[in-house]
Structure 1
Amino acid sequence: MKRELCLVAYSSSEESEPEEADVTLAFYVYVYAAQPSSRKLPTLSASLTGPQHVDNPSLHEGRTRSKPHVDGQYAAHIYASVPLSRSSGLFKLLCKIIESGQTMVPSLHDFWSNDSKPELHISLSRPIYLRAHQREEIKRAVKNVADKSPPFTASFAHVSELINDERTRIFLALEVGAGHHEFATLTSSLTPTLRAIRQQEFYSSPRFHASIGWALLGGKDSVEPPNSSDSTNFTTNMDQPSLSSIRADSSNLSTPTENEYFKVTEFPPTLVSSLNEQYGAALVGSVAKSFDVTELCIKIGKDITRWRLNGA
């Protein structure tokens, strides 16, 4: 686009400088204005930008984020809730399973010690990451699925061990037996919405489960990922470890330095079989019984929203 040379309008009165001076002055004004400024813009005040986010694993028993924090992005998770009464047979059974597991893996943590109202979560989505404008959209989708889906009864079948996709934690879990088909129907109903907001859908061959215990996974002898092109869950089956078993003494743990936490290289091969032998009958029998699935939940950041299953 053609630029106008004259940047200032000059008077034509007789008291003005000669015409040649006007042209020369206008030229220098133009050249000076066209030069790029060498001055740097001032740094924004912290009151405008906000504090820089810093992850602190010490606040989360050594756990770290699977994905770095991004301003304006919210981690989310869709799941079915299984409330636990502390006086129920199921809750007491889970405490016994964890206590037995800790004799072999001392760094095993449970999920309910700090919760006044403990509950188990059966995942219906992978961890997903939302922008601010997507939060209400996915809430509406989960509500619509809940409105169209009837409540159902489910039960747990056995204890298993699993690890997360990032291979930072290893879990002790209860796998779902009865109710698997109904959970699969729920995840299928959520798939169109997840695709629409460019999030990964649930796994093609899911293993629905509730995690009851976890330990940090790592150390120089950490197990290698299985040779598989298709993960069957957000966690991976570890029933046949490739390395030597972890023992109950210090050799099963990495030695922590300051600001670090004990990490296991794997669970002992006998851990799951031993727990199933001790508690399997109670888990599928009259002690644990079946449980009712009556609501869907979504956690976005720290906010949890719940909807009742209302389908006929």
Structure 2
Amino acid sequence: MKRAAAALVSYSSSDSEDEEQAELTKAPPPKKKKLPTLAQTLTGPVHIDDPSLHQGRTRTTPHVEGQWATHVYACVPLQRTSTLYKLLVGIIEAARKEVPTLHDFFDGKTKPELHISLSRPVYLRVHQRDEMKRAVKKIAENTQSFAASFAQITSLMNDDGTRIFLALEIGAGHHELAALTNDLAPALRAIRQQEYYAAPRFHASIAWALLGGGSGGVGAGAQLGAGPVLNTEQLRATGAQLAPQNENGFPSTLLPALNAEYGDRLTSSVALKSFAVEEIGVKIGKDVSLYGLL
């Protein structure tokens, strides 16, 4: 009886193992399921560089996710019924007669403003945004508002020579604006960003055009380069150094004609003799923060 029982147990165990092995051999390996794609609301839109969406401007600096274009400036609000605004519209319309491809900064939808650049276009990481806002706010809290005036209508080019700007050069108020850029310099150095120009010519850009002999450009002799795709605010900041008049830029008759027609009204009119600078702003991406001066 003991032998039979042992044989029975041995037989049963062997048979079970064979069946299990057969099942394992027949069963196909489980397929790995694909993870669902993330919704666009989580990943954000795909960035596409399309010059046709930016008045022909192209990009030299690749788009980097998590990097925010930033510009610091003195803000001068305008009223559409004001003498200054009407004068600026007249200057731009007169300039377009010689430069039809000129683009202005007043879109008709938002409240018009003049921006006097206090920084170059700089690029911040996410964790640096609040730091920059705090720095600009602190500067505003320690700066008195001041009067400024315009000296002349002039032209200037961006650093890479791809765009030319029609601008109003600052006369009175230069010292105070220079003090603001000096106060901002330590914050820029702390995040390893380039400071403003050592010998700045402060200005408010009112219009711009592409340089180059191609379609939509001015200055047939200009070298046509590929500038970064910039929004309106960044464009205001790029025209930071005054270009020699008419060098690969506007027609030689444009600036003399504009200054002859509008210069006296811009610099000597009682209504336009000076304007108040009462706030400075920082634009990070699409986020704008304005801080009042004392």
- 5 Å matches for 1:118-267? 118-219=112-213, 221-223=220-222, 234-242=239-247, 266-267=249-250
Query: In 2 relative to 1, CA 128–185 (structure 1 residues): closer, same or farther, beyond 3 Å?
Result: same
Structure 2: distance between partners of 1:281 and 1:143: 36
Contact residue 82 and residue 119 of structure 1 kept, 8 A: yes
User: What is the letter of the counterpart of residue 238 of structure 1?
Assistant: A
Q: Specify which of 258, 274, 278 is matched with residue 290 of structure 1.
A: 274
Contact residue 205 and residue 239 of structure 2 kept, 8 A: no
Say which SS state the counterpart of residue 173 (structure 1) adopts: strand
Normalised by the length of structure 1, the TM-score is: 0.72
Structure 2: distance between partners of 1:43 and 1:65: 34
Say which SS state the counterpart of residue 262 (structure 2) adopts: helix
Structure 1: distance between partners of 2:84 and 2:246: 29
Structure 1: distance between partners of 2:205 and 2:164: 10
* Residue of structure 1 equivalent to 2:11: none
- Over residues 205-226 of structure 1, what are the superposed CA-to-partner deviations in whole Å (9 max), with x where a residue is unaligned? 001000011112223644259x
User: What is the letter of the counterpart of residue 203 of structure 1?
Assistant: Y
* Residue of structure 2 equivalent to 1:14: none
Structure 2: distance between partners of 1:237 and 1:179: 18
Structure 2: distance between partners of 1:216 and 1:65: 13
Aligned-residue offset at 1:50? 4.3
Structure 1: distance between partners of 2:210 and 2:161: 9
Aligned-residue offset at 1:269? 1.2
- Over residues 254-282 of structure 1, what are the superposed CA-to-partner deviations in whole Å (9 max), with x where a residue is unaligned? xxxxxxxxxxxx21011111101111100
| Contiguous gaps of at least 5 residues in structure 1 | 1-41, 226-232, 244-265
Structure 2: distance between partners of 1:68 and 1:222: 27
* Residue of structure 2 equivalent to 1:278: 261
Superposition RMSD on alpha carbons, in Å? 2.4
Q: Specify which of 51, 64, 68 is matched with residue 70 of structure 1.
A: 64
Structure 2: distance between partners of 1:75 and 1:88: 31
User: What is the letter of the counterpart of residue 279 of structure 1?
Assistant: Y
Structure 2: distance between partners of 1:85 and 1:49: 40
Structure 2: distance between partners of 1:57 and 1:175: 30
Say which SS state the counterpart of residue 186 (structure 1) adopts: helix
Query: In 2 relative to 1, CA 66–140 (structure 1 residues): closer, same or farther, beyond 3 Å?
Result: farther
- The more displaced of 142-151 and 65-74 is 65-74
Query: In 2 relative to 1, CA 238–49 (structure 1 residues): closer, same or farther, beyond 3 Å?
Result: same
Contact residue 66 and residue 166 of structure 1 kept, 8 A: no
- Over residues 278-309 of structure 1, what are the superposed CA-to-partner deviations in whole Å (9 max), with x where a residue is unaligned? 11100012242311000010000001001101
User: What is the letter of the counterpart of residue 45 of structure 1?
Assistant: T
Bigger radius of gyration: 2
Aligned-residue offset at 1:65? 4.5
Higher relative contact order (CA 8 A, sep 6+): 2
Q: Specify which of 277, 284, 290 is matched with residue 306 of structure 1.
A: 290
Which structure has the highest helix share of the two?
2
Aligned-residue offset at 1:44? 8.2
Aligned-residue offset at 1:234? 4.6
- Over residues 94-133 of structure 1, what are the superposed CA-to-partner deviations in whole Å (9 max), with x where a residue is unaligned? 1111111011111112111333310010000000000000
- 5 Å matches for 1:93-108? 93-108=87-102
Normalised by the length of structure 2, the TM-score is: 0.76
Structure 1: distance between partners of 2:136 and 2:36: 40
Say which SS state the counterpart of residue 116 (structure 1) adopts: coil
Say which SS state the counterpart of residue 269 (structure 1) adopts: coil
Percent sequence identity over matched residues? 57
Query: In 2 relative to 1, CA 306–98 (structure 1 residues): closer, same or farther, beyond 3 Å?
Result: same
Structure 1: distance between partners of 2:194 and 2:116: 18
Contact residue 265 and residue 272 of structure 2 kept, 8 A: yes
Aligned-residue offset at 1:63? 3.3
Contact residue 120 and residue 240 of structure 2 kept, 8 A: no
Q: Specify which of 88, 98, 107 is matched with residue 113 of structure 1.
A: 107
Contact residue 203 and residue 234 of structure 1 kept, 8 A: no
Query: In 2 relative to 1, CA 234–170 (structure 1 residues): closer, same or farther, beyond 3 Å?
Result: closer
Query: In 2 relative to 1, CA 51–109 (structure 1 residues): closer, same or farther, beyond 3 Å?
Result: closer
User: What is the letter of the counterpart of residue 223 of structure 1?
Assistant: A
